[in-house]
């Protein structure tokens, strides 16, 4: 049974509170700062060498060429530069998020699983290959969707809304699966993906908003990994607790 929006908000709030509590650990800070440092250098490199090329490409293709043909060259240049910087930001975030998902997430998961979630037994396949494939496939779909929606940026408001929604989807698709791959079996994952879809997406949306804040955004990919581990393992703990209660109730009724 799918959870209500109130339940989803409560679970997201709990995951965030526990994530803040985890920041007391120097080990967690190390896991946060490594992707943040990578994000900084990726940002700098793309900003210096990449933004001009992206702007030129946007100006040479629709809808910017269409705007220029209408005499709206100033608008075409404005949107091209806006799109160029958004593309640089998306590429930097995407690269850093992949590093966090593939390299940092397993370490973060092991650290928390040995502490707060020691009672949650690992029953999943624990496949690093499967998690990596999931992250890379999510990145491919994100890039395809981002490019496909560029013409929609001409609609007022969508230029800001669509990147947030795409980033929220990418966060959910990448981190939710990776956080549970080791602990949840196939059946449990299907149940959690269905019942907690709102919580998983809302957490991804919140992380997408935070990613646009100066300096804080550098920490967001690893912070998202941390928060999804808390959300995922707590959801799994509750699911197994409910299943145990149902099993005990059946035994009593029998």
pLDDT tens digits for range 39-98: 788 778 877 777 788 888 888 877 788 878 888 888 888 878 887 777 777 788 888 888
Find out whether 188 and 239 touch, Cβ atoms under 8 Å.
Answer: yes
* Number of structural domains in the chain: 1
Q: Is residue 71 part of a domain?
A: no
Band (pLDDT 50/70/90 cuts) for residue 126 is low
Instruction: Give the list of residues 6+ apart from residue 177 with CB closer than 8 angstroms, or none.
Output: 131, 134, 189
Q: Is residue 84 part of a domain?
A: no
Band (pLDDT 50/70/90 cuts) for residue 202 is very high
Q: Is residue 144 part of a domain?
A: yes
Buried b / exposed e along 82-103 (16+ C-beta atoms within 10 A): ebbebbbbbbbbbbbbbbbbbb
Q: Is residue 76 part of a domain?
A: no
Q: Is residue 132 part of a domain?
A: yes
Q: Is residue 133 part of a domain?
A: yes
Instruction: Look at residue 253 in the predicted model and tell me its pLDDT.
Output: 44
What is the reported pTM? 0.85
Q: What whole-number distance in Å separates Cα of residue 63 and Cα of residue 102?
A: 36
Q: What whole-number distance in Å separates Cα of residue 129 and Cα of residue 70?
A: 50
Stretch 185-198: mean pLDDT, rounded?
Answer: 93
Chain centre to alpha carbon of residue 217: 12
CA dihedral 245, 248, 249, 254 (to 10 degrees): 160
Give the residue numbers spanning the domain of 224.
Answer: 5-46+93-243
DSSP 108-128: HHHHHHTTTTTTS---S---H
Q: What whole-number distance in Å separates Cα of residue 241 and Cα of residue 121?
A: 12
pLDDT tens digits for range 135-173: 999 999 998 998 888 778 777 778 778 889 999 999 999
Q: Is residue 88 part of a domain?
A: no
Of 29-33, 113-117, 159-163, least confident by mean pLDDT is 159-163
User: Which of 187, 182, 176 shows the shortest CA–CA distance to 240?
Assistant: 187
Angle, alpha carbons 64-87-41 (nearest 5°): 145
Q: Is residue 250 part of a domain?
A: no
């Amino acid at each position: 049974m799918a959870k209500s929006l109130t339940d989803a908000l409560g679970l997201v709030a709990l995951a965030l509170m526990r994530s803040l509590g985890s920041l007391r650990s120097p080990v967690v800070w190390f896991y946060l700062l490594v992707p943040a440092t990578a994000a900084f250098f990726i940002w700098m490199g793309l900003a210096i060498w990449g933004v001009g090329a992206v702007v030129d490409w946007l100006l040479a293709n629709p809808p910017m060429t269409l705007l220029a043909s209408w005499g709206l060259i100033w608008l075409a240049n404005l949107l091209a530069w806006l799109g160029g910087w958004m593309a640089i930001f998306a590429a930097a975030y995407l690269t850093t998020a992949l590093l966090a998902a593939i390299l940092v997430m397993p370490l973060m998961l092991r650290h928390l699983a040995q502490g707060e979630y020691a009672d949650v037994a690992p029953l999943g396949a624990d496949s690093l290959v499967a998690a990596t494939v999931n992250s890379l496939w999510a990145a491919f779909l994100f890039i395809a969707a981002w490019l496909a929606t560029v013409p929609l940026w001409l609609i007022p408001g969508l230029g800001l809304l669509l990147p947030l929604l795409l980033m929220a989807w990418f966060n959910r698709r990448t981190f939710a699966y990776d956080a549970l791959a080791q602990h949840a079996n196939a059946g449990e994952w299907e149940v959690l993906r269905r019942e907690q879809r709102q919580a998983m997406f809302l957490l991804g949306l919140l992380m997408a908003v935070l990613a646009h804040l100066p300096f804080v955004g550098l920490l967001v990919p690893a912070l998202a990994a941390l928060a999804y581990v808390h959300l995922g393992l707590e959801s799994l703990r509750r699911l197994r607790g409910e299943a145990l209660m149902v099993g005990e109730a059946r035994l009593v009724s029998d």
